[in-house]
């Protein structure tokens, strides 16, 4: 990691960070999530094409929303076999930080990086609205203490209905792996689950979009705090930085 | 060789699509309906010998890609 450029207050050592946004054919929130981290948090963020076999020097991998491979077969099922996902598997196995949003969450579940699966909304409708989410005390940096008891984030999905078997759910609860729950369940998700992390605490996934909640014209600005809470898992310095 | 792979939602997994189709069937006056489940049929055509190794490969393919074992079951018919 590069050292700070002290001449500019915006540049401390975090500016040496390297954030990768994966791009699959059919990803459509790649620019949104890049904008969140590059403009919202002012961190160096770049795209990595799905055919890349290496991530290069990376501190955080973002798996964006969209409809990778047209959602064919099952959402996220084909993206999982992209060359870049092998590199993500290795990166994650070494403890690297990974964050999947919406279709990115579906891809991480399909890839087995997160437990469970996402099926068709119980209403069968595509749901597009801003949801109130209750924040769970999941990690020292992802908790009501850092984010507030509730946050508001938009959702936009047809397959966000989280499913896992009973033993799996018990394990998620026991290990505090649930990050956020819907205050009013929009899709039928088991236990109102909107987002989870893996047991080790380096892989995060959620259906709601922090990347659609940080500009003044967005329905909420809670996305910045969510992005920071995820990053702070490995880089607590981010919490000291002002918005 | 022709293989039909049937992928269906697990019995204990909610099937919103099946439920909606079931409701539509009832509204058409279809009586006595107990359950409706909607799945997929995947047709494969290939040249291979039906050996135990091939079956093992086919099962792996079904588990890894064609179905998601968390939410779906699969079975296949070889013609």
Query: CB burial class (10 A; 0-12, 13-18, 19+) of residue A81?
Result: middle
Across the range B51-69, mean pLDDT stands at: 96
Residue of B nearest to A107 (CA): B68
Q: Tell me if chain B has a CB within 8 Å of the CB of A186.
A: no
Residue A105: closest CA among A210, A182, A8, A6: A210
Give Rg (Cα) of chain A: 17
pTM for this prediction: 0.91
Q: Which sequence spans correspond to the domains of chain A?
A: 13-240
Q: How many CB atoms lie within 10 A of CB A10?
A: 9
Which two three-digit tokens encode residue B9? Answer: 């939602």
Question: Percent of chain A, pLDDT > 70?
Answer: 93
Q: How many residues does chain A have?
A: 243
Contact A213, A35 (CB under 8 A): no
What ranges do the domains of chain B cover?
Answer: 2-78
Residues of B with Cβ-Cβ distance to A79 under 8 angstroms: none
Contacts of A121 in chain B (CB under 8 A): 16
Residue A15: exposure state from Cβ atoms within 10 A (0-12, 13-18, ≥19): middle
Which of B16, B20, B66 shows the shortest C-beta gap to A188? B16
**CATH T-level topology, domain A13-240:** Rossmann fold (3.40.50)
A8: pLDDT confidence band, cut at 50, 70 and 90?
very low
**Record: contact B9-A165, CB cut-off 8 A:** no
pLDDT score for A16: 80
Pairing, β A150-157 against β B72-78: unpaired
- Classified as helix, coil or strand, A188 is coil
- Give me the architecture of the B2-78 domain, per CATH: 2-Layer Sandwich (3.30)
pLDDT at residue number A3: 39
pLDDT class of A14 with cuts at 50, 70, 90: low
- State whether residue A218 is helix, strand or coil: coil
Q: d(Cα A65, Cα A205) in Å, to the nearest integer?
A: 11
Is the CB of residue A61 less than 8 Å from the CB of residue A22? yes
State the Cα–Cα distance between residues A90 and A77, nearest whole angstrom: 19
Residues 6 or more apart in contact with residue A184 via CB below 8 angstroms: A131, A132
The answer on pLDDT for B23 being more than 50 is: yes
In this predicted structure, the answer to whether residue A117 has a pLDDT above a threshold of 90 is: yes
Cβ atoms B50, B77 nearer than 8 A: no
Does residue B66 belong to the interface with chain A, where contact is any CB pair within 8 Å?
yes
**pLDDT band at A241; cut points 50, 70, 90:** low
| pLDDT at position A12 over 80 | no
Average per-residue pLDDT for chain A: 92
Beta-bridge mates of residue A151: A133
Whether the complex's predicted ipTM surpasses the cut of 0.95: no
pLDDT at A10 over 90: no
Contact between B20 and B33 under an 8 Å Cβ cutoff? The reply is no
Q: Does B4 touch chain A (CB under 8 A)?
A: no
The answer to whether A151 and A220 have CB atoms below 8 angstroms apart is yes
**Cβ partners under 8 Å of residue B35, min gap 6:** B18, B22
pLDDT for res A9? 40
Q: What pLDDT band is residue A6 in, cutting at 50, 70 and 90?
A: very low
The shortest C-alpha distance from A126 to chain B (Å) reads: 13
Q: Please report where in the chains the tokens 């940080």 appear, as a residue.
A: A214
- Best residue of A117, A157, A158 to probe chain B, by most B CBs closer than 10 Å: A117
Q: B16, A122: Cβ pair inside 8 Å?
A: yes
- What are the backbone angles phi and psi of residue A159, rounded to the nearest 5°? -130, 80
Q: Which of A2-11, A73-82, A109-118, B47-56 has the lowest mean pLDDT?
A: A2-11
Element (H, E) at A157: strand A150-157
Cβ of residue B14 closer than 8 Å to a chain A Cβ: yes
> Looking at the complex, does the CB of residue A191 fall below 8 Å from at least one CB of chain B?
no
């Amino acid at each position: 990691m590069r050292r700070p450029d002290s001449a500019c207050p915006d540049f401390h050592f975090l500016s040496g960070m390297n954030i990768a946004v994966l791009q699959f054919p059919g990803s459509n929130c790649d620019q949104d999530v890049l904008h969140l981290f590059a403009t919202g948090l002012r961190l160096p963020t770049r795209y990595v094409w799905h055919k890349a076999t290496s991530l290069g020097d990376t501190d955080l991998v973002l798996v964006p929303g969209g409809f990778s491979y047209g959602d064919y077969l099952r959402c996220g099922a084909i993206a999982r076999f992209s060359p870049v996902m092998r590199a993500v598997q290795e990166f994650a196995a070494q403890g690297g930080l990974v964050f999947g949003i919406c279709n990115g969450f579906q891809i991480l579940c399909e890839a087995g990086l997160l437990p469970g699966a996402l099926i068709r909304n119980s209403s069968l409708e595509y749901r597009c609205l801003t949801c109130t989410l209750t924040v769970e005390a999941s990690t020292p940096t992802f908790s009501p203490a850092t984010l507030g008891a509730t946050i508001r984030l938009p959702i936009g999905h047809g397959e966000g209905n989280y499913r896992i078997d009973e033993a799996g759910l018990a394990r998620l609860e026991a290990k505090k792996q649930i990050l956020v729950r819907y205050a009013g369940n929009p899709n039928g998700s088991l236990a109102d689950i909107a987002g989870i992390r893996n047991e080790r605490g380096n892989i995060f996934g959620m259906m709601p979009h922090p990347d659609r909640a940080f500009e003044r014209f967005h329905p909420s600005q809670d996305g910045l705090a969510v992005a920071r809470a995820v990053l702070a898992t490995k880089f607590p310095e981010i919490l000291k930085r002002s918005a | 060789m022709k293989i039909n792979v049937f992928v269906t939602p697990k019995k204990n997994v909610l099937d919103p699509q099946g439920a909606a189709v079931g409701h539509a069937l009832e509204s058409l006056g279809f009586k006595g309906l107990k359950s409706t489940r909607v799945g997929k049929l995947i047709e494969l055509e290939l040249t291979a010998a039906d050996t135990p190794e091939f079956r093992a490969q086919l099962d792996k393919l079904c588990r890894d890609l064609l179905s998601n074992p968390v939410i779906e079951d699969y079975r296949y018919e070889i013609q």
